[in-house]
């Protein structure tokens, strides 16, 4: 009962955050922006109804997974609305579809143990989705990882991550010796190769983070992880010597200032934006996120830090940590090895994505064009994140 009270209290703070932020944006407009309040109301109703369904029919799972993901989504929708109201409307639609998928997975997905024998189905889906960008992709923002079907553009590699985790979980659940690692190692290298060809270095880093995390959990052998890091560094060096776009990324990472008006314009504007916000920010709606390129997707973290401050940036990182903790907590309690590895894989997927994009926009690592999960605008990212969280939520039910 105490847990339920704590969850409802946190939900109330989520509603308050949503209403206050949108009210702030509405007041700044002249005349008063009624659309902002409609967005706030729609978001709160969607979150509240979804929580009610999960709590009423599936009361044993970890509800904080949904709550923390909702808080991050609220922050994203508010910031996107502040930058571009039309894009925010699209985002809330993707949020609604993602939450619906989350609930449907929790309601209809049977026990995950039944899915541990479909290794080669996951393998085929992984290879198809990873290769689509190379074969059919069109280049957007330097990466050839988008395809268009019927006028709708999406990233197949985003959905490929879901199947890659399922495949690795199926392949590693029965690990006994080094021989069992050869096939999954080849598949991971093929996936990384596709990402390099598509110039999608961000996804390559995420796949590597997923793979080594699941490898260590499955084998408990640090020597395998060390060997993977060595091979990754070797692969990075080979890519650096063969591909000009990799050289450019490392060049502007080492020293972006000489190229501030050209190659490193994005990262320099991002650093200026974060620095101008200081600790507490200029105020929601009072900054200039329009000076930051791609400000609703790759660089939304910079826009948030400018208007809400670096403290808000730290708060977002803390929320991601709490979400990661609750997901990994589900892995600890579940008994089935396949389910545990799936949970670890999806948790590592989100954690790697957060580390890569935030590290990139503050120039701690070479910049890669990926979205900040749940916060950045993007249908593919929103759907894959909520689908993976829905599966983890279902696993948390099984572990109780």
- For 297, the domain range is 112-398
Residue with tokens 């991550």: 161
Q: Are residues 78 and 189 in the same domain?
A: no
Residue identified by tokens 């699941």 is 214
Question: For residues 101 and 286, what is the distance between their CA atoms, to the nearest angstrom?
Answer: 35
Are both 229 and 324 inside the same structural domain?
A: yes
* Residue-wise pLDDT tens digits, 122-136: 999 999 999 988 887
pLDDT at 1: 46
Alpha carbon separation from 283 to 79, 85, 303 (Å, rounded): 12, 18, 11
Q: Which of 87, 108, 129 is the last residue of a domain?
A: 108
Do 268 and 162 lie in one domain? The reply is yes
Is 133 exposed, middle or buried (CB count within 10 Å of its CB: 0-12, 13-18, 19+)?
buried
Residues 54 and 142 in one domain: no
Number of structural domains, the chain?
A: 2
Say yes or no: 219 and 73 in one domain.
no
Domain boundary among 85, 108, 131: 108
User: Which residues of the chain register pLDDT less than 70?
Assistant: 1-3, 59, 139-143, 150-151, 399-400
Q: Which of 108, 141, 168 is the last residue of a domain?
A: 108
* 150/188 same-domain check: yes
Same domain, 124 and 94: no
Query: Please, which residues have CB within 8 angstroms of residue 144's CB and are 6 or more apart in sequence?
Result: 133, 134, 137, 138, 197, 198, 199, 200
Is residue 237 domain-shared with residue 382, that is, in the same domain? yes
Dig out the tokens for 147 from the structure: 């395809």
Residue 400's pLDDT is what?
56
Contact 342, 203 (CB under 8 A): no
Pull the structure tokens for residue 348: 């590592």
**Residues 151 and 272 both lie in one domain:** yes
What's the CA gap between 344 and 181, in Å, rounded?
18
Query: Are 47 and 185 contained in the same domain?
Result: no
Q: What is the DSSP letter of 149?
A: E
Angle at 87 between CA 86 and CA 92, to 5 degrees: 100
pLDDT one-digit tens code per residue, 226-249: 999 998 888 888 888 877 777 888
Closest Cα partner for 191 from 154, 159, 218, 237?
Answer: 159
Distance in angstroms (rounded) separating the CA atoms of residues 395 and 331: 8
């Amino acid at each position: 009962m105490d847990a339920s009270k704590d969850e409802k209290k946190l939900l109330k703070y989520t509603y308050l955050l949503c209403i206050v932020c949108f009210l702030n944006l509405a007041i700044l407009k002249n005349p008063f922006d009624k659309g902002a309040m409609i967005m706030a109301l729609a978001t709160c109703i969607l979150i509240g109804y979804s929580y009610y369904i999960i709590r009423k029919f599936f009361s044993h799972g970890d509800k904080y997974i949904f709550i923390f993901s909702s808080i991050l989504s609220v922050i994203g929708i508010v910031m996107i609305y502040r930058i571009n109201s039309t894009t925010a409307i699209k985002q809330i639609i993707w949020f609604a579809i993602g939450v619906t998928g989350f609930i449907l997975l929790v309601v209809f997905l049977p026990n995950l143990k039944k899915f541990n024998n479909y290794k080669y189905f996951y393998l085929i889906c992984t290879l198809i989705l990873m290769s689509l960008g190379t074969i059919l992709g069109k280049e957007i923002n330097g990466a050839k990882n988008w395809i268009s079907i019927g006028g709708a553009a999406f990233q197949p590699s985003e959905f490929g991550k879901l199947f890659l985790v399922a495949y690795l979980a199926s392949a590693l659940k029965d690990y006994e010796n080094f021989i069992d690692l050869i096939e999954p190692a080849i598949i991971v290298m093929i996936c990384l190769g596709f990402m390099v060809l598509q110039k999608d270095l961000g996804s390559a880093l995420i796949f590597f983070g997923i793979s080594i995390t699941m490898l260590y959990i499955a084998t408990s052998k640090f020597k395998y992880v060390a060997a993977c890091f060595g091979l990754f560094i070797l692969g990075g060096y080979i890519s650096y010597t063969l591909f000009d776009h990799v050289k450019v990324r490392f060049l502007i990472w080492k020293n972006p200032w000489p190229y501030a008006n050209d190659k490193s314009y994005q990262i320099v504007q991002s650093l200026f934006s974060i620095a101008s916000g200081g600790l507490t920010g200029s105020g929601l709606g009072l900054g200039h996120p329009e000076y930051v390129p791609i400000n609703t997707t790759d660089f939304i973290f910079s826009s948030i830090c400018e208007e809400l401050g670096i403290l808000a940036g730290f708060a977002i990182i803390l929320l991601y940590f709490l979400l990661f903790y609750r997901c990994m907590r589900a892995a600890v309690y579940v008994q089935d090895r396949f389910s545990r590895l799936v949970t670890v894989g999806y948790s590592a997927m989100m954690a790697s994505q957060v580390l890569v994009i935030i590290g990139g926009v503050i120039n701690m690592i070479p910049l890669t064009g990926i979205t900040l999960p749940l916060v950045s605008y993007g249908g593919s990212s929103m759907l894959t994140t909520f689908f993976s969280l829905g599966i983890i939520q279902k696993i948390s039910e099984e572990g109780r």
